[in-house]
Amino acid sequence: MYYQVIFTRLEALMLDYFKVPEKDVVIVKPEILKETTKLMFMKCGVSNDEAELGADVLLHADLRGIETHGVSNLLRNYISWYNSGKTNPNPKWKIIKESPTTATIDGDAGLGLMITAHAMNLAIEKAEKYGTGSVSIRNSEHCGAVGYFAMMALEYDMVGTCMTAGGNTMVPTFGAEAKLGTNPIAIAVPTLKKPPFVFDAATTTIAGNKMGLLERIGAEMQPGWVAHDDGTPDMNGGGEFQYAKGPQRMQLPLGSTRELGSHKGYGLAVSVDIMCGMLSNGFGFKTLDASRRAHYVSAFRVDGFAEVNEFKESMDQMLEGLEKTKPAPGHERVLYAGLEEYEEELTRKKNGIPLHSEVVEWYRGACEEMKLEFNLA
């Protein structure tokens, strides 16, 4: 049997799999989409500056072709959380423990899009003074694409990392119930002339938000994505989408089965829970509560290890070497993490962002309800 295990948005082949079908595409100008999103946040009680920041995090994902973490999948959830009182539109986040190079932040139930950005700014500030900075964040909701926060360190000639943990969607290797989240990890590394190295991946075989895209575009499940109700990995694929929509989503760790290395994805996911939730003493982490949520960011200066330009030139050389790898049959080229997203961002900034018509209609209805002008289409 051919096992097609899907790893992350790093894989170019699968980017096409998740694209909006041509018949359903509506092209939207990025600046209009960002402004509309910002105004919707403000209608939920978010301040102007924080709404601008939140919209920027979401549009970053859409511009780079990461629809799973852009407006299509996430904005309606965030608005629902604000309206229900689950998420605080004006959090008074604070540092509750600190050293020269570390800190723990309580996010006051604020949205992670904004809280995590503030945490990374603090990590960068510490790294500028002491060479490295690490911040854990508790009591904060969903943070969107973790790659955004890792990339914040790049302009300071730093390496940035970000992780987020929460929820119960991943089945541990040999387990029959979900105990961990998709727990993504991002690392961003500066370069001189090449597009930067930006790895951003879930520790499950497929990012959780891709399930929403699958439903919207009508795509089938693939082998190795989810488990059956008894925990047995589904290695046949082609199944109904509701496989992953039950009262408990049963996603598989990166690797899918023990023979293919699922213990590695499982171990990485536990590590993310530790870095985000256990270090911050976040609610529900020691008991694996399904409502738990926490984040972690770090930054460190390249010049603490090497001369900056020499390092960045070496990065260029290494990444170019990867690109020049002889491609396997059926493949045009070899990529490295962040390259295709960089190219997609250039295209979308010029030509616009392709949204699914269902998403555009949702915007239309939401704008009408919020008494905002609708001008996406």
Does some domain include residue 73? yes
Q: Is residue 129 part of a domain?
A: yes
- As a residue count, the chain comes to 377
pLDDT attached to residue 189: 98
| pLDDT tens-digit readout, 326-338 | 999 999 999 999 9
74 vs 237, residue with greater confidence: 74
Residue 51 located in a structural domain = yes
Cα–Cα distance list, 35 to 5, 264, 348 (Å): 38, 41, 16
Q: Tokens 């964040």 appear where? A: 137
By CB atoms closer than 10 A (0-12, 13-18, 19+), residue 217 is: middle
Tally of domains in the chain: 1
Output the domain CATH number for residue 79. Answer: 3.30.1370.60
Q: Would residue 331 count as lying in a domain? A: no
Read off the pLDDT of each residue in 185-209 and give the average, rounded to a whole number: 95
Q: Of the given ranges (117-121, 222-226, 352-356), which has the lowest mean pLDDT?
A: 222-226
| 40-54, 100-114, 117-131, 242-256, range with the lowest pLDDT | 242-256
- Sign of the CA dihedral 297, 301, 302, 305? negative
Residues 6 or more apart whose CB falls under 8 angstroms from that of 37 comprise 54, 55, 58, 59, 71, 75
Looking at the domain assignment, is residue 2 inside a domain? no
Residue 237 has a CB neighbour count (10 Å cut-off) of 17
pLDDT tens, residue by residue, 138-174: 999 999 999 999 999 999 999 999 999 999 999 999 9
Quick one: pLDDT band at residue 11, thresholds 50, 70, 90? Answer: very low
- Domain containing residue 173: 12-324+336-370
Lowest mean pLDDT among 98-112, 166-180, 193-207, 216-230: 216-230
How far is it, in rounded angstroms, from Cα 141 to Cα 165?
Answer: 10
- The verdict on pTM exceeding 0.85 is yes
pLDDT-above-70 percentage for the chain: 92
31 is a domain residue: yes
